[in-house]
Every structure is written in C-alpha cells, then in structure tokens.
Chains A and B, each alone.
Chain A
Amino acid sequence: MRKVSRLSRFNIASLALGLAFLYLPILILVIYSFNASRLVTVWGGWSLRWYHEFFNDRAMIEAAWMSFRVAASSATIATLLGTLAAVALSRGERFRGRTLFSGMLYAPLVMPEVITGLSLLLLFVALNAERGFWTVTVAHTTLTMCFVAVVVQSRLGSLDRSLEEAAMDLGCDPVRAFLSVTLPLIAPAIIAGWMLAFTLSLDDLVIASFTTGPGSATLPIRIYSEVRLGVKPEINAICTLVIALIAAVIVIASLASKLSSSKGESAAPL
C-alpha cells in the first residue's frame, strides 16, 4: 500500500512551477490552435478554422499518413525483433557474446540520433537503396527495437521461471511452453512496447530527415519545413492533434503495463 503523504507548501509550489514549466507552452499551443486570427500571437476569438485548413492541406495529410504508416510498421517489426532479443537475453542458455549482444542492443538508447541517422544514411547510400518509406521504417525499427527489448526483458525477468518448467513438466515442449504460458503473461509488456515504439517513431525528426527521400516526408519533417517559412496557426492545430494521439497511446501503454505488473504479482511466490 502506498501511503499518501501530505505535501508541504514548498512542495506544492515547486510542483506547480515544474508542471507549469513543462506544460504551459503546450497549453498555449493548444489554446492558440483554436485561434481565429491569422497571426499566431494575436488572439482573435475561438475558431476551428485551422483544423479545417489542415484537413484540406493535401501535403500535410499525406505526411501525416506517411508518419502513421511508418510508425505502425516500424513498431510492429521492432516489437517482433525486440521481443525475440529479450527472450534470447533472459531465457536462452548463456551463449558466447551474450554481454556484447545485450550491450549492442541497448546502445541505440544512448546513441545521439544524429549519429544513428547519419550512419543509416551512409548504409542506405552504400546499399544503393531508394530512400523513402522503407528506409525510414528500417531506421525507426533500429531506433525503437531496444526500447521494446528493455520493456519486455524487465517483464520476463520478473516472471517466475518455474512457470515454464511447470508447463514443460505437464507435457509441453519448450516452444509450446513459451507460447501457452510465457507469451500470454508478457503480452501486456509487448503491447506497451509496441505503443512506445509507435510514439517514438511518430515523434522522430532527426533520423527520419536523414533517411527519407524526396516525396516521402513524415509529419515532423513537413511541420519543420513549414515552420522555417513562418509559423502558421495550422501548425498549432496539427500539433494539438499529434499531442492528443500520443497522450492517448501513452495512457493505453501505461494501463497495459500496469495490468501486466499486477498479473505478475500472482505469479510470484507467496
């Protein structure tokens, strides 16, 4: 049981300041997305004009659709590979180079995105791959796979190994034991991993701008290039929509992982 402690005035003040620092700019952005005025900084009354404008902006919609496709497919591939990596790391026999493998798996977590982006660009150029949807997808898979692996591996680590042994004892071969016992128990973590990967991919500007090609801009790239020509209130509207989408995904992901950990409690010994 977590004890709810009373906050002192200082704590409340610092909390309020901290939250304001983090969320006030976003709040202003959201409010101004409903601005009727053409000028970003002048309030002209409430309006849905810029949302309307966005839905009629073909290039922007295409970029959003591209972003969505890249995010969904890279998240799916990353989840598959990340889960396999996590299983190999926590369940497999201690194979040679295991430490190296786990280190290399987690390297993208701390690698500056510019370096990841540039190196991938060089790779794609060397391979003579046509840059576009698939190159961005592959790049995002590299970026997000490690996050999935971390989430799934921590869940696997907290899972009682004797559950799999019990399944084998009761007639399952190792693969069957994994599918019928382990997989259902780590499913919430896998879902959370997918959603994390999805939002990371949706956000990314740096790696995408290195690896994309002409005619296949993602939403962040498109927004960035628009903003360079001056901020239109339409951008505020798009950003508000993106924030809403990401917030929704994060809430679902955290609910999923909460569900996963409460299930895990019953798996633990008394």
Chain B
Amino acid sequence: MTDELPRTDGVANAGGGDPLPAARQPLLRIEGVAKTFGTFRAVDGVSLDIKAGEFFALLGPSGCGKTTLLRMLAGFEAPDEGRILLGDKDIAQALPHERPINMMFQNYALFPHLSVRDNIAFGLKRAGMARAEIATRVAEMVALVKLEGLERRKPDQLSGGQRQRVALARALARRPQLLLLDEPLAALDKKLRESTQGELMELQRRLGMTFIIVTHDQEEAMTVADRIGVMNAGRLAQVASPRELYEAPLSRWIAEFVGDINLFDGETRLRDGHRLIIGTRDAGTLVVAEPREPVGAGQFSIAIRPEKIKLSRRAPVSEAGRETTINSLDGVIADVCYLGGTTTYKVKLDSGAIVRASVANSARLDVDAYSVGQQIVAWFTPDDCLVLPS
C-alpha cells in the first residue's frame, strides 16, 4: 500500500528491535478468530492481515459476522478462539479502553448531554491530556471535519451529516493506531454519502491511518477501500482488491453477491490451447478463456458481467478488426430498463433463459436503443467469461 510510515503518535514504530521494518509487518493480524453466540457461530475461524496505512473494507450480507468481527477488534466481544495481534501484542482479551483502537459507531453514539466540543474532548480527558493540549487537539479535529462554529451545539441540534462528522472527529481525536468504522454512512442520503466517502478517503490518506470499515454496500466498499474482505456465514470468502473481486471472484456466491452477473451451468467438452469449449444447457456451446488456475474436466458455472455483453442486430464476424472467436447468442429483447447512464436489457434466449446486458448510453440521442420484442444478438468474447466451480 503506502510506502510512508503511518503517523500515529510514535506507536507505529512498535517493536523497534524487530528485524522486520514496521511498514512490512502487518499492523493487525487476526489469527483463526471465532465467536459463538449460543449455538450460532457468528465468526467461524477468520484469519486476516491488515497493513499499516491500509483502508480495508469488510463486506457482506447482514448476519455474515462482519459486525461481530469488528466488535471483537474494538473489544466489545471477546473471541472464543484465536488471537488478535496488534503489533506484537495479543489484544484478544483486552478491554475496549485498553486498546489503541477507536470506533465510529453506526448510529454515531454521540453523548446527547455533551456539546460537540465535549464529545470530541471526551476521550482526550480520559487519556489524561493537559487542558491546553485538549483545546488545541479539539480545534484541530473540528477544523479537520469542517465543523467550525458548531462547537457549542448539542448533538440534537445538528443535522445527520454534522453528527457523522462529530462522531468521526471524536473517534480520530485520540489518534488511534486503528480506526474502526461500523456502517458509518448508512444513515446519510445518497448524495451526502458519496461526497462523504470521498472525504473519508482523503482523510485516511492525509493522516496515513489504518481504517477498517464494515459495510453491506458494495459500491461503498469498492469506492473507499484498498482491499475488500467479503464475508459469508462467518467466514472470509475472498480478500482482494475491488477490481480483482469484481473481475475474478473466487466462487459463484461472491460473483453473485458483488455486482450483477449472468450465470450458465455447463461442463467442459474440449480443451483447445488456452480455450475451453464448454457445453451449457441454456446458452449452447461457449468458448471461454482458461482461468489462471487450470481446471479439470467437470461441472462449471460460466459467469459474464452484464456490461461485458454487447448487443447488435447481426452477429459480428470479428471484433476491432481482429479475427477472434466470439460467443453469440440469439434472442429477443424481453425488457428494457433505462437507468440514466446505462440501460439494462433483458434478452430472452431461444432456450428460454434470460441474459442481462448493460449498455452505456454514450450518445444523448438514443440511435442505438432497442425495443421490446426486437430480435437481437448478444455476444461476448472468451476473455469476458469467468469459469467458476459450481
């Protein structure tokens, strides 16, 4: 990630005698952490390294264990198994106030009886900081989140966006080694959420701090995070960069969870160099590029993202002037969904299966638009196909 050392009040150089440079050693190492509530295994053996200065997102559907994992990092839950190493220290059983980690709560959890200033100063007073120093730090934080002039207000006199900023300032004020954000933008409306995402990223880069965000919003995770960990049923399904997660998901579940996707079940018929010929029930025979990890014969799912599927009236012979193998499927437009920037077409194939194709509306006058009932060819290249284990 970043080459520079995180600016976290000297603690970044923890373990000075360590032969490994601090930047290469993970800031946080989660080892086989598990948590069971009654008979429900909320977190089921998660291992993960977080580098210093990284913006990491935990993404997953509700109930996947992402919040429980975050609460274990904050110290509100103690793991039943495993270790949580911050630097060289196992903090798995440490109480929240003993950890150099702060959290921004989903509902912000601002103290209603305290002013903005006192909310931000709360953690600094507990840290035994001198009054003058607290005042300086609070002013710095207020400026950082652009809340000047609102220091004396109580939380109930603030808008949702302002409360969110107070919560962020309060969590950042102690300059934690690690900031945890639990669905920090869920309560904001779309526009404000998008601008706040940008501000969060900028802030994280500027402070060089390590952020872990929990979210169920994949766009948010992709926007802000350097790396995303997708969780399902208490386990980490994949840890990857946003692009890798989207373009090379490890499983059918991840492919379906992250973004929209068309799936065809099939089995390998033939191997032709770097191509696989796969027979499917719904889309006939498809030519796909062999994945990086070679696959044996057997059942597969072929996955194609909607925006990778092109539509045209006649089947193309070549693409970009180059002779190439193209998968083309005949069908009829069954539904048109205009979304502004793109239009999603549902194409009903001759087999009866539905394929979704997303087309960018690159011209204002919709010369290329198709209408319901029109005969169409949906086509895509072998490289646009993902081969996933069924």
A126 within 8 A of B: no
Q: A160-B107, A270-B160 are in contact. Are A171 and B127 (CB under 8 A)?
A: yes
A181 CB contacts on chain B under 8 angstroms? 111
The answer for the CA separation of A191 and B124 in the assembled complex, in Å, is 30
Q: How many A-B residue pairs have CB under 8 A?
A: 78
Q: Which residue of the partner chain A has the closest CB to B170?
A: A170
Q: A170-B126, A269-B187 are in contact. Are A162 and B112 (CB under 8 A)?
A: no
Interface residues of A in 164-222 (CB under 8 A from B): 165-174, 176, 180-181, 184-185
B102 CB contacts on chain A under 8 angstroms? 169-170
Q: A169-B97, A170-B174 are in contact. Are A266 and B112 (CB under 8 A)?
A: yes
Q: Which residue of the partner chain B has the closest CB to A181?
A: B111
Q: Is the CB of A163 within 8 A of B97?
A: no
Q: Which residue of the partner chain A has the closest CB to B96?
A: A168
A105 within 8 A of B: no
Q: A170-B102, A171-B127, A266-B154 are in contact. Are A165 and B96 (CB under 8 A)?
A: yes
Q: Which residue of the partner chain A has the closest CB to B122?
A: A170
Q: Is the CB of A165 within 8 A of B127?
A: no
- By the criterion of a CB under 8 Å from any partner CB, how many residues of chain B are at the interface? 31
The answer for the CA separation of A173 and B111 in the assembled complex, in Å, is 16
The answer for the CA separation of A162 and B74 in the assembled complex, in Å, is 12
How extensive is the interface on chain A, given as a class?
A: 20 to 34
Q: Is the CB of B113 within 8 A of A185?
A: yes
Q: Is the CB of B105 within 8 A of A165?
A: yes
B188 shortest CB reach to chain A, Å: 9
Q: Is the CB of B126 within 8 A of A169?
A: no
Interface residues of B in 122-155 (CB under 8 A from A): 122-123, 126-127, 154-155
Q: Is the CB of A171 within 8 A of B126?
A: yes
Set A167, A174, A184, A270: member contacting B122, Cβ < 8 A: A167
B74 CB contacts on chain A under 8 angstroms? 165, 169
A258 within 8 A of B: no
B103 within 8 A of A: yes
Q: Which residue of the partner chain B has the closest CB to A174?
A: B95
A81 within 8 A of B: no
A98 within 8 A of B: no
B90 within 8 A of A: no
The answer for the CA separation of A174 and B105 in the assembled complex, in Å, is 18
B244 within 8 A of A: no
A38 within 8 A of B: no
A-B pairs with beta carbons under 8 Å apart, 6 shown: A162-B105, A166-B105, A170-B122, A170-B174, A171-B123, A185-B113
Known: A166-B105, A171-B174, A266-B155. 9 other contacts (CB 8 A): A162-B105, A165-B74, A165-B76, A166-B109, A169-B75, A169-B97, A169-B101, A173-B95, A270-B187
